[in-house]
């Protein structure tokens, strides 16, 4: 198992210390800092099919692999948004399904693939689109979660209802479905939309407190984009609204 530590509170970074023979994989541009003996290799991460599959799921086309040379190394991966970094030990039959953009880094040997919901409606009404990511194999993966992460361990047949966009990840043993909000008054006056996501165990569920899309929508009324022309050829200014 790879040695690591997570620091930074709500602005987290995971610092990994790979030994000889241990390689970490991440999407292009995710490395924050590293020791000089870390060797980088850029590739498609499993072929053209998987490369374009990652594109559909919100990741970059290429993978970067980092391996220490001549002894133990050090490499850090920082979250791109205030929140949490969650370590998850993947084992055969115990993979994880994660939202788009939720993958941060993983040990080489794990498989990152596109995950489609069985029914398109589940994805379209579930908040994150019907394309998610599935990580299988044997090794450690690090996930970035928007805001605080609350973990639930569901028993067989036990369910939890999650509002749109708050489902960050779940064990591959869990199932996800969509249920309609009951009652016209609840639909039109409740402010929760038409659908909720039901996740049923057995398995772990990771719920995020501050989905990125919700934060963007909350900030949009206070931001104004203005075109400006100056002697340097113009540009775009973003200002706080009045």
Pick the CATH number of 3-216 from 3.40.50.720, 3.30.70.20, 3.30.70.2860, 3.60.160.10: 3.60.160.10
Q: What pLDDT score was predicted for residue 164? A: 72
Q: What is the pLDDT of residue 117?
A: 63
* 78 vs 104: CA distance, rounded Å: 8
CA 161, CA 79: separation in Å to the nearest integer? 27
Q: Give burial (CB, 10 Å; 0-12/13-18/19+) of 170.
A: buried
The answer to whether 15 and 4 are in contact (CB under 8 A) is: yes
| Pairing status of strand 149-154 against strand 235-240 | unpaired
* Contact by Cβ (8 Å): 68, 18: yes
> SS3 sequence, 116-175?
ECCCHHHHHCCCCCCEEEEEECCEEEEEEEECCEEEEEECCCCEEEECCCCEEEEECCCE
Three-class SS state of 21: coil
Tokens matching residue 104: 């941060």
The span from the CA of 111 to the CA of 129, in Å, is 21
pTM comes to 0.79
Residue identified by tokens 């044997």 is: 138
* 17-46 pLDDT, tens digit each: 999 989 999 987 889 999 999 999 988 755
Spans in the chain with pLDDT lower than 50: 57, 120-129, 183-191, 228
**Nearest-angstrom CA–CA distance, 22 and 187:** 51
Domain boundaries, given as residue ranges, for the chain: 3-216
The structure tokens listed for 124 are: 């379209």
pLDDT at 32: 96
Instruction: Please tell me the predicted confidence (pLDDT) of residue 186.
Output: 42
pLDDT score of 119 = 52
Overall size of the chain counted in residues: 242
């Amino acid at each position: 198992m790879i040695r690591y530590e997570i620091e930074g509170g709500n602005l987290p970074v995971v610092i990994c210390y790979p030994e000889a023979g241990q390689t970490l994989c991440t999407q292009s541009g995710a490395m924050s800092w590293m020791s000089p003996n870390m060797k980088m290799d850029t590739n498609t991460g499993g072929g053209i099919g998987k490369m374009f599959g990652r594109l559909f799921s919100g990741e970059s086309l290429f993978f970067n692999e980092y391996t220490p040379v001549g002894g133990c190394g050090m490499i850090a991966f920082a979250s791109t948004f205030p929140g949490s970094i969650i370590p998850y030990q993947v084992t055969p039959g115990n993979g994880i399904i994660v939202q788009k953009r939720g993958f941060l880094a993983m040990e080489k040997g794990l498989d990152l693939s596109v995950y489609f919901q069985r029914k398109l409606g589940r994805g379209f009404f579930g908040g994150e689109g019907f394309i998610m990511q599935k990580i299988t194999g044997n090794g450690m993966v690090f996930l970035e979660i928007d805001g605080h992460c609350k973990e639930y361990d569901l028993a067989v047949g036990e369910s939890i209802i999650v509002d749109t966009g708050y489902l960050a990840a779940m064990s591959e043993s869990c199932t996800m479905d969509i249920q309609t909000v009951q009652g016209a008054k609840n639909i039109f006056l409740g402010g929760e939309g038409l659908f909720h996501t039901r996740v049923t165990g057995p398995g772990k569920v990771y719920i995020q407190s501050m989905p990125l899309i919700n934060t963007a929508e909350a900030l949009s009324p206070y931001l104004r984009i203005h075109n400006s022309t100056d002697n340097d050829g113009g540009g775009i200014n973003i200002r706080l609204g009045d």
